[in-house]
Structure 1
């Protein structure tokens, strides 16, 4: 086989979405493609016994590697992903590599390994292979139930109900998967919407509208039993890191991009979104109560927020269904050196325009909902902010401490 870069498809999807069925379909291909598949657990992949290469020893299977008569191979990832990919590429036996990322891992680290990784002998992995596509398999029925999308078909009168959301789950099996599912959707360029036969035609239209709200740029392919033409998912040359990294719906919303067709379909089913922007920090306790009693009409919130507990650092908040993630995002520009501040202000008209006595500190939170009353949600969030008097006191104390250093 000639010395050329090997294309890689990274396959994401939660447990039960249909990744294994799709992998079997790809491994059993009779189109002459020699595919190497790296899976998490070989026992999960039900390979057709007739395809297992004659002479493949029991030891090979024990070593968690099965060679097939059509030239494909299925192996389990027992060590470092980078090492596994390098060995497959260096063997010069395969045309294509598919990596099944674990159902409970985020897709970005896997992509980073391929784009920025180095082999043990110092070669850039990006010189040996490239990401051809980042594919996320979604179970249509699970999507509908996890995000309560069935409510889009309900009577409008139920839309303002509030439900207590317990974001603390002790049982691993009971943890909501919505957050991970959304992350896998937000960082992909192909969505395979599987098990479409398990939902009604109207439910399917709502699910597709919601996916497009979360990920407006990706190619959406509908399928049953994971069967899809190979040319739609292999050798597509469709992955671009910069494009995919900025393709999530919440990022596009913040940037003011409007996908008119997707917006029309979404609004038809009552799916809407808006950006909540304020130049006052949240009271962390009041914000906690907002999320504890989140209106059931809200299915997704994500953004950078200003909190009363720390005027130096911005925080990232990410909620999907009942999944919740909250983490430090980084220093506000206003807390950096004067040199940094002037350099950024010089190069950004947007920053200059929004700069005030609190510098760049503000909240920008994207809210996606179904039959959502925007004014009501804005009022609820406004009630979770510090009052002007509280902010003035807090800010003066902050400046006093900062100037004393």
Structure 2
């Protein structure tokens, strides 16, 4: 039997910087055949496009499989297993597989899938890396009162919460071997100390790495040799007692926009709308009038980044499309009306 292939699961909430981390790992790892399995919540494949458009010839080297409009933790049998089997059937199969879960995915069900006979004989989980958006934690995105949460956690580790954002966040870091505290450049020392306190209260044996723009040593993130499959029972989640789970607390939709005349004004409007309607995530590509380049727009809450990522390809539709993700009950009509009437 051929030697089993290592797989690294990269998890983290919406906009934490998972794709940025993976892009760095691809660029910094030149001595290994990598395959990337990218899963997104929403049917605009932004993350795979970011990985393909990095401008470095090594970014074309990995085999990239995209699974859009779903969540691997819910569709293991339908999506994950066939995708893995397709990768293993390549003439030159990968030496390492990196799996990016959607921002709403729970990593534990995915890890369990590696015990399936059809997968276990070929792959093993080398480790789970959870990427954390430091400013989002500092802003209280995952808890109403961070200091109170830390005290409660110290008193009762099994304390239950009804905040769906918090539950997904906690499940992701509880399953991790390494926590990457990302975007530390956006934190002042007091905020960073408070975020570190919260993370330490919610993790077990995981190491915590500070990072800017997802830059970590690939020798640390890949090749962990973790024993997560044997240790899975000791990594509790809010959903252990459930036979299955869903994401009914969240919803997404795709918004088609007219070309933008002024990118700065558009991004300012997106930030305003996201704040007004508590949008969790916006991302997509925009056509700018008179520009040959495609504008990549990404937002976490009201924080937005944008830049021209590559020229539009010949014959490629110059569509402006954004995926919008929020909690259940997000007023799609008002969001669309505000952005369409800009």
TM superposition score category, shorter chain reference:
0.5 to 0.7
2:197 corresponding residue in structure 1: 209
> 2:47, 2:9 → 1: CA distance?
18
Deviation of the 1:228 alpha carbon: 0.4
Q: How does 1:353-372 map to 2 (within 5 A)?
A: none
2:18 corresponding residue in structure 1: 19
Q: How does 1:55-204 map to 2 (within 5 A)?
A: 68=60, 71-77=61-67, 80-91=79-90, 92-116=92-116, 118=117, 124-144=118-138, 145-146=140-141, 147-148=143-144, 177-204=165-192
Structure 1 unaligned regions, length at least 5:
54-66, 119-123, 153-165, 168-174, 251-301, 305-314, 317-322, 324-405
Q: 1:23 to 1:216 in 2, by over 3 A?
A: same
> Are 1:189 and 1:244, in contact at CA under 8 Å, matched by a contact in 2?
no
1:358-384 deviation line (CA, Å, top 9, x unaligned): xxxxxxxxxxxxxxxxxxxxxxxxxxx
> 2:169, 2:8 → 1: CA distance?
18
1:19-70 deviation line (CA, Å, top 9, x unaligned): 11112112223532211001125432413364468xxxxxxxxxxxxx81xx
Q: 1:50 to 1:196 in 2, by over 3 A?
A: closer
Q: 1:150 to 1:114 in 2, by over 3 A?
A: closer
1:197-217 deviation line (CA, Å, top 9, x unaligned): 222212212211221111121
1:254 corresponding residue in structure 2: none
Structure 2 unaligned regions, length at least 5:
69-77, 149-160, 243-248, 250-342
- Given the alignment, which residue of 32, 43, 47 partners 1:44? 47
State the TM-score, normalized to the length of structure 1: 0.47
State the TM-score, normalized to the length of structure 2: 0.55
Runs of 4+ in 1 over 6 A off after TM superposition: none
> Are 1:7 and 1:96, in contact at CA under 8 Å, matched by a contact in 2?
yes
2:222 corresponding residue in structure 1: 234
> 1:28, 1:90 → 2: CA distance?
25
> Are 2:146 and 2:198, in contact at CA under 8 Å, matched by a contact in 1?
no
Q: Let me know the Cα RMSD of the aligned residues.
A: 3.0
> Are 2:112 and 2:229, in contact at CA under 8 Å, matched by a contact in 1?
no
Deviation of the 1:113 alpha carbon: 1.5
> 2:106, 2:211 → 1: CA distance?
23
Q: Considering fraction of residues, name the structure with more helix.
A: 1
Look up the SS of the partner of 1:131 in the other structure: strand
1:248-294 deviation line (CA, Å, top 9, x unaligned): 5x9xxxxxxxxxxxxxxxxxxxxxxxxxxxxxxxxxxxxxxxxxxxx
> 1:214, 1:76 → 2: CA distance?
31
> Are 1:38 and 1:100, in contact at CA under 8 Å, matched by a contact in 2?
yes
> 2:132, 2:226 → 1: CA distance?
19
> 1:52, 1:100 → 2: CA distance?
21
Q: Which has the larger radius of gyration?
A: 1
Look up the SS of the partner of 1:32 in the other structure: coil
> 1:114, 1:179 → 2: CA distance?
23
How many matched pairs?
213
